[in-house]
Amino acid sequence: MKIIKYIMAVLLMTSAVSCENYVAVDPPKTELASASVFVNDRSAIAAMVGVYSDMNALNYYFANIVTMFLGSMSADDFIYAASLAEFDEFKNNTVQPGNRYIAQLWAQPYDYIYRCNAIIEGVTASTTLTPAVKNQLLGEARFTRAFCYFYLVNIFGDVPLILDTDVRKNTNLPRTAVNLVYEALIDDLKQAKGLMDLNYPPNGARTRPTKSAATLLLARAYLYTGNNAQAEIEAAEVIGNTNYELLQGANMNKTFLANSRESVWQLEAVNTGGNRNTWEGFTFVPANLAAPTAFYRLTKGTGGLVDAFDAGDLRRTNWTGSYTTTANPPVTHTYPYKYKVRTGTPVTEYSMVLRFAEAYLIRAEARMQQNKLKPGAEDLDVIRSRAGFTTPLATPANTAAGMLLVEKERRLELFAEWGHRWFDLKRWKSVTGVAGKTRADDILPATKTFWKSTAVLMPIPTDARNTNPNLTPNPGYN
């Protein structure tokens, strides 16, 4: 533990000059400290593990609540039942550049990117690391950098592309076009695939990414950029890996347990004060299950998530909770219940980042987009079978019909996870065929009074623009 704290202190020295707020730094001291980290395997590994620990250290961080919850509220998964002005901006799609959570969605990924850049440079320069450790760390750093850029580009659109630790060069970089950011992150993931181990450590921990994590994220990146043939290939590679399975029946409730066989990559619970497990469980699960009051409630009514589940769907049975108020008349509310533990010892749940079910959903969509309609439906049937449906889907008549099936299954399977629904509505074209419109324009105006098409991108944070005058605002936020 002492070595991890030492490495964290060293890397926090460098992260203090991250893209959130560049300041002057003494290059000789930084170089000396960085070099000392990569002298031996133990300290170099601790540097990379320290990034994962920091990603999940505190509540309402980029890598837990902020991306997941605020993405879900920006879409139509759930709402925040209490009144909080900054949350209301996400619920109403009226986010302002000065919103502190927008600042975190920008600054924290760039901090991790800077640290990954430092690790890549340090590991590459080292002549004392064992080859296997060197390759694994280079792969993990490239994967994590790509992971952060994936979220930045999908939240903000064009963003500065920073691939080294040259502060003076990077401090005032303009925004890089989305397609070029995707090219860079796809290149990182391809290299990560070739560097990382396919298997997890002998202890079974799934808290460090492997080749399969890079492959799954690569499949997603190809899907998002319209390379459906390659997305199908990468997703199939993950599906064919016997390290993973969809947990069936009663085991469905074990999906989000630490190191479950459905997890491709998880973040370990590192801040367990008060007997916390995951920040997601601590925030979602009511404090008193006997008389609960959940702040996060699934949308209901026409177009709501609650009513999107078909009768008998085990995802509703197992992954949602509900309670009825004592009001007159009483009202029933439903809340996300994928994570079951608010507090408890020992720690039994970890935060799920990438999971196996997504591989089937990616391949299904990629196949539908290539007019491989029957195989696409068969992939959806795998997901639906786990959800309790034994009757196969009819082969859709065309790609448009197939995509509606994909949309439904993605919504029901991935709700309240990593903003999937929000990203889906933004990236899919409107079924109306109107140029420039998205599925968000089709769906969200029904319940979002203030909806504007420009809300598909979040505003560039005020702090970032004040620090870097070359950052232009997104449309609709001038």
Please list the helix, strand and coil fractions of the chain in percent, rounded to the nearest 5, in that order: 55, 5, 40
* Enclosing domain of residue 343: 265-352
Quick one: 91 and 194 in the same domain? yes
* pTM confidence score: 0.92
Amino acid 182: pLDDT? 98
Query: Would you say 78 and 447 are in contact if contact means Cβ atoms under 8 Å apart?
Result: no
- 275 and 197 in a common domain: no
Question: 292 and 180 in one domain?
Answer: no
320, 352, 384 — which closes off a domain? 352
The pLDDT value recorded for residue 288 is 81
Distance in angstroms (rounded) separating the CA atoms of residues 241 and 188: 22
The answer to whether residue 257 is domain-embedded is: no
The verdict on residue 279 lying in a domain is: yes
- How far apart are alpha carbons 101 and 18 in whole angstroms? 18
What total number of domains does the chain contain?
2
The tokens of 398 are what?
A: 């065309």
Whether residues 198 and 307 fall in one domain = no
Q: What is the pLDDT of residue 34?
A: 64
Is residue 380 in a domain? no
What Cα–Cα distance (Å) separates residue 169 from each residue in 14, 90, 138, 473? 15, 34, 23, 21
- Which residue positions in the chain have pLDDT lower than 50? 1-33
Residue 51 belongs to a domain with what CATH number? 1.25.40.390
Strand partners, 176: 159
Find the helix packing angle between 41-55 and 27-37, rounded to 10°: 110
Percent of the residues in the chain that have a pLDDT greater than 90, as a whole number: 80
The Cα–Cα gap between 114 and 117 comes to 5
Could you tell me if 106 and 183 lie in one domain? yes
Residue pointed to by tokens 């209301």: 88
Q: Are residues 292 and 166 in the same domain?
A: no
Are the C-beta atoms of 245 and 262 separated by less than 8 Å? yes
Same domain, 165 and 70: yes
> Do 182 and 271 sit in the same domain of this protein?
no
The residue type at 133: V
- Assess contact for 336 and 320: CB atoms under 8 A: yes
Residue 357 lies in a domain: no
Residue that finishes a domain, picked among 305, 325, 352: 352
Residue 373 lies in a domain: no
Query: For residue 229, is it within any domain?
Result: no
pLDDT in tens, 197-227: 999 998 889 999 999 999 999 999 999 999 9
- The structure tokens 């959800």 sit at 387
Place of tokens 């196949």: 367
Q: Is residue 248 part of a domain?
A: no
Q: Are residues 436 and 335 in the same domain?
A: no
> Tokens at residue 103, please?
């600042």
Residues 157 and 291 in one domain: no
Domain boundary among 288, 317, 352: 352
Same domain membership, residue 319 and residue 205: no
Q: Residue 374 has which token pair?
A: 């029957």
Among 94, 96, 86, 106, CA closest to 154? 106
The reply to whether 306 and 197 lie within a common domain is no
Asked if residue 253 is part of any domain, the answer here is no
DSSP 436: T
Is 114 within 8 Å of 18 (Cβ atoms)?
A: yes
Calculate the alpha carbon distances from 449 to 89, 224, 307 in Å: 12, 28, 21
